[in-house]
Amino acid sequence: MALGTLPVLGAIAFGLWFFLEQQQHAVEEMLVEQVTGAAFGCVAAVRGDSPELWSLERSLEHMSHMERLTRDEEDPTIATERSRFAQAAAEAAHGCEQLGRLMLQAHRDSEDHYFAVPAVLAQPPDQEDPERWYRRVLPDTRPQAVELTRQIRVMAETVNARRTEFEMMATELPVEGRGPDELARIVTLTDIPRDRENPRTEVWPMPDGIVVMRRGSIGRVPCDTRYINRASCFNEYVQQVSWEGELGEQIALERPRAVLYWSSFAPAPDGAIWAVGVNQGSDGIVGRYPPGETRPELAPVDAPVDATTNIVIVAGGVALFPDDGSAWLTDLDSGMDFEAVSTTPTPLVLRTRHGGAGRGIGMDAGDSLSITGSEEDGFTSRVSSPDVDDVLSRMIDAGSRVRSIADLRSLPSGRAVALLARFSESPDAVAITTDFGRTWLPALPESDAPAE
């Protein structure tokens, strides 16, 4: 009887073992499938509001900059950015909740359940304070962004290795970029003479191209010897840049001897360049350089002009804004005859709000364009519209030797120019867009890029 019973018991034991093995196999297969979906959702959520076209590394750099930008809870100028970051944090915490929970469960069940999930993603996020959790997840520096991206790639490889063990199709996490590189072209401006000091750069978008004015002072010693007012030591150089990024010749403007110094300049759509300054008798004077000319027409002005007076091209005319808060206007039919006014028309060129390019430019229709970033993180432009999703464009990568966006200006048509401060003393390059930042003039292939 014993000999007859042993085979039966063996068959039962084998069947039980096989059943338990198959059950464990099914459980582990389900765990792998769940971890795969949770890992995808978590990585996609950690990317924040960056476009799908961007790589994970680029997305982490962008969101890390947003994290640093929004740390000040009292600054009213970043209220929009704080709200946007808080929403991204809530979505990231929700997206990573299942992954963290599965990792705790997997470690409790068996040490063999290893998926190489980065430590910052393996702990379940605090849903009561998602912003605090998200700030801990995001890297502080570019090397940390590179390292976290590497860890997530390892996680993706490990998950696919486990899927192969169970004869499941490989999957792909949203790590790599899915589109062409959309970096903006950095158009380098022509240098002014090397003996000029205290260089300054200003740009104006015009319908037919971009007007660049670069100012430089003669040396400190000859300036102190010849002039009482340092503004008298500056010389002006004008250059045109086409909307296709082609540079025109740089031209030096003459300053007549009757003019002690020019306070400010403003190009007009007809190609003329207007200036306001002070004559040798310390009285206000305006000048108009006709299109293509280097010597101006001059006319006196009764406005209280000093070195801080601004001149601005407005709709239908030219306006002066002295430091005393008054305003003076001439229309195009009145030549150079300025009169005091209580209000002035809208400026032709739109300028950034208080806070510079990071706060951006606003259009009457509600659209706004801003550029945020740093030399370590690269720079990203954002177009916000009332009724459609924001458009983010990666303008400049980290390590491109761009220190800051010195200025951002636009026409109502959407033709805009960003003035870039790089490795020289003053801003020396521009980036160009003709559709209000939705696309930027693309960078040239490395083989076609001019040598610097």
Annotated domain spans of the chain: 21-165, 189-350, 351-433
Residue 115 scores a pLDDT above 90: no
Looking at residue 29, its amino acid is E
Mean pLDDT score across all residues of the chain = 87
Mean pLDDT across the stretch 82-87? 92
* Residues 6+ positions from 414 with CB-CB distance below 8 Å: 433, 434, 435, 436
Over residues 418-448, the pLDDT tens digits come to 999 998 888 999 999 999 999 999 988 765 5
Overall residue count recorded for the chain in this entry? 452
CB 355 within 8 A of CB 77: yes
Over residues 369-385, the pLDDT tens digits come to 999 888 888 899 999 88
Confidence of residue 10 (pLDDT cuts 50, 70, 90): low
Cα dihedral sign, 334-338-343-346 = positive
What strands, in cross-sheet order, belong to the sheet with 234-241? 197-206, 209-217, 234-241, 251-253
CB 260 within 8 A of CB 272: no
Instruction: Return d(Cα 418, Cα 381) in angstroms, integer.
Output: 10
Residue 23 scores a pLDDT above 60: no
Q: How many CB atoms lie within 10 A of CB 43?
A: 22
Residue 137 is predicted with a pLDDT of 94
Most confident of the ranges 78-82, 84-88, 227-231:
84-88
Residue 302 scores a pLDDT above 90: yes
CB 382 within 8 A of CB 394: no
Structure tokens at 383: 């177009």
Nearest by Cα to 202 from 162, 241, 254, 246: 241
Residue 20 is predicted with a pLDDT of 47
Instruction: Return d(Cα 145, Cα 397) in angstroms, integer.
Output: 13
Instruction: Return d(Cα 372, Cα 379) in angstroms, integer.
Output: 6
Residue 15 is predicted with a pLDDT of 52
Instruction: Return d(Cα 11, Cα 13) in angstroms, integer.
Output: 5
Over residues 308-360, the pLDDT tens digits come to 999 999 998 999 999 999 999 998 777 899 999 999 999 999 999 877 898 88
Mean pLDDT across the stretch 228-252? 92
CB 66 within 8 A of CB 85: yes
The residue with tokens 């970029």 is: 177
CB 264 within 8 A of CB 278: no
Instruction: Return d(Cα 450, Cα 14) in angstroms, integer.
Output: 74
* Residues 6+ positions from 232 with CB-CB distance below 8 Å: 223, 226, 260, 261
* Residues 6+ positions from 12 with CB-CB distance below 8 Å: none
Rg (CA), the chain: 31
CB-facing half-sphere around the CA of 412: CA atoms within 13 A: 7
CB 416 within 8 A of CB 407: no
Instruction: Return d(Cα 121, Cα 310) in angstroms, integer.
Output: 53
Structure tokens at 346: 């809208």
Task: Give the single-character DSSP code of 61.
Answer: H
Long-range residue pairs from 143-146, CB within 8 A, at least 24 positions apart, any chain: 145/57, 145/60, 145/61, 145/64, 146/57
Mean pLDDT across the stretch 10-33? 60
- Beta strands 429-433; 416-421: pairing state: antiparallel
Residue 450 is predicted with a pLDDT of 56
